[in-house]
Amino acid sequence: MNIIEVVRSARGVLGGLAQQIPVVGAAAQRDRIDLDGKVVFITGAARGIGAEIARQAYAKGAYVSLVGRTMAPLEELAAQLGSRAAAFNADVSDFEALEKAAAATIAQFGGIDVVVANAGIAPPPDTLLTIDPKEFERGIDIDLMGQWRTIRATLPAVVENHGHVVVVSSIYAFFNGALNSPYAASKAAIEQLTRALRVELAPHGATAGVAYPGFVKTDMADSTFAIDHVDEARKALPGFVTDPIPVEQIGSAIIGGIERRSAKVASPWWVLPMLQARGVVTTVMDEFMIHNAGLSKAILRAEATHRDPS
Ligand SMILES: NC(=O)c1ccc[n+]([C@@H]2O[C@H](COP(=O)([O-])OP(=O)(O)OC[C@H]3O[C@@H](n4cnc5c(N)ncnc54)[C@H](OP(=O)(O)O)[C@@H]3O)[C@@H](O)[C@H]2O)c1
């Protein structure tokens, strides 16, 4: 038995024990979700992971509500997909716009079964000493508050349909966030928020789960890795961690997690064992990063760009 099988069987035993505990109301409703005919509301659906989830959900027969701040690519994707797809305009910094997108989705498709809270940004890779405070706060506003607003705006519909919410966090929920702290703080916070949500939804017969992608080959990873000091920091870390996976891989992991109503979705292969052993992993990781000469150089180089922007 390899480590992944051990982790899976331990989770199976613990999950089975937990299911013996009596629960109130409709909490026992943990049936699988068949996406055929279901309505999936996705933020940040224009590109990257959001667009891939939309494509895969559509291929399984779902109605897809493509939500985002830039209409042209959303409309283009909706046209490529077909009549079960529609584009709706909402910036996740705007709660009312998200409420309107949810209402428009319900008006067009009859309800919302699944929410994929996915929209996110990569704030400038900088340190707490030198990051522009406005950039720090914008990171939190989109990557944490944007997820909260998405959840709140769609939750009444999800509860009504006993649906599922998947919140796209990241390995940064538990990775050290050096040079990436507003992002890491947001991803850790939305993990907490989603764990609470999963428990709060149980009496309603609905579910929620966290997705923990490693690095994924999208515009976000490409543009971040193109920055010199990030590339330097990346080279200081083990290659298997920083090699991006194809977007199709995380897309199918998240779709499978929705169908199983999973509490956790992790990809690539090494994320789940690290997640399960996070107490040890995070201690070792922090020490490794503190003593890593390449990373220290990258940090000082990031800070130096503020003294010499060229
Ligand atoms: N790529 C990775 O390595 C990786 C790893 C772990 C987790 N993630 C997470 O996965 C999610 C998707 O990332 P990605 O790699 O697919 O990024 P991406 O290719 O940059 O796409 C991000 C999407 O989010 C949208 N978006 C950004 N800010 C928004 C806002 N204020 N309101 C509405 N939509 C907004 C973008 O819209 P526009 O097209 O209008 O800009 C775009 O469609 C993010 O939450 C990210 O943190 C990514």
167-181 pLDDT, tens digit each: 999 999 999 999 999
Ligand 1 center–CA 287 separation, angstroms: 30
Mean per-residue pLDDT, 127-142: 98
Give yes or no for residue 217 having a pLDDT over 60. yes
Q: Which residues line ligand 1 (CB under 6 A)?
A: 43-44, 46-50, 68-70, 91-93, 118-121, 142, 146, 168, 170, 213, 215-216, 218-221
| pLDDT at residue 307 in the model | 76
pLDDT tens per residue across span 240-275: 899 999 999 999 999 999 999 999 999 999 999 999
Q: State the alpha helices, DSSP H only, in the chain.
A: 3-18, 48-59, 71-81, 95-109, 133-140, 146-160, 181-201, 219-225, 228-235, 239-242, 247-260, 271-276, 278-290, 293-307
Q: Whose CA is nearest to atom 19 of ligand 1?
A: 48
Q: For the residues 145-165, what does the mean pLDDT come to?
A: 98
Q: What are phi and psi of 164, to 5 degrees?
A: -140, 140
Whether residue 3 is predicted with pLDDT greater than 60 in this model: the reply is: no
Residue 2 has pLDDT above 80, yes or no: no
Round to whole Å and give the CA distance between 64 and 228.
38
What's the pLDDT score for residue 28? Answer: 43
- The atom number, within ligand 1, closest to the CA of 216 reads 3
Identify the burial level of 222 via C-beta atoms within 10 angstroms of its C-beta, where 0-12 means exposed, 13-18 middle and 19 or more buried: exposed
- Partnered with residue 167 across adjacent β-strands are 117, 210
- The string of pLDDT tens digits covering residues 196-215 is 999 999 999 999 999 999 99
In CATH, the number for domain 32-307 is 3.40.50.720
pLDDT of residue 43: 98
Task: Please indicate whether residue 183 is annotated as part of the active site.
Answer: yes
Per-residue pLDDT reduced to its tens digit, 226-243: 998 888 888 888 888 999
Nearest to 200 by CA among 157, 167, 155: 155
pLDDT 10s digits, 91-123:
999 999 999 999 999 999 999 999 999 999 999
308 against 209, higher pLDDT:
209
Question: Is 165 in contact with 193 (CB distance < 8 Å)?
Answer: no
Residue 238 CA to ligand 1 center (angstroms) comes to 24
CA 191, CA 212: separation in Å to the nearest integer? 9
Give, using CA atoms, the residue closest to atom 5 of ligand 1.
Answer: 215
Burial 6-44 (b: 16+ CB within 10 A, else e): eeeeeeeeeeeeeeeeeeeeebeeeeebebeebbbbbbb
Point out which residues pair with 208 in neighbouring strands: 165
- Where in the chain are the domains? 32-307
Q: Name which of 233, 250, 183 is nearest 48 in CA terms.
A: 250
Neighbours of 284 (CB within 10 A): 11
Confidence category of residue 25, pLDDT binned at 50, 70, 90: very low
Q: Give dist(CA 78, CA 66) in Å, integer.
A: 7
106 is written with which tokens? 């319900």
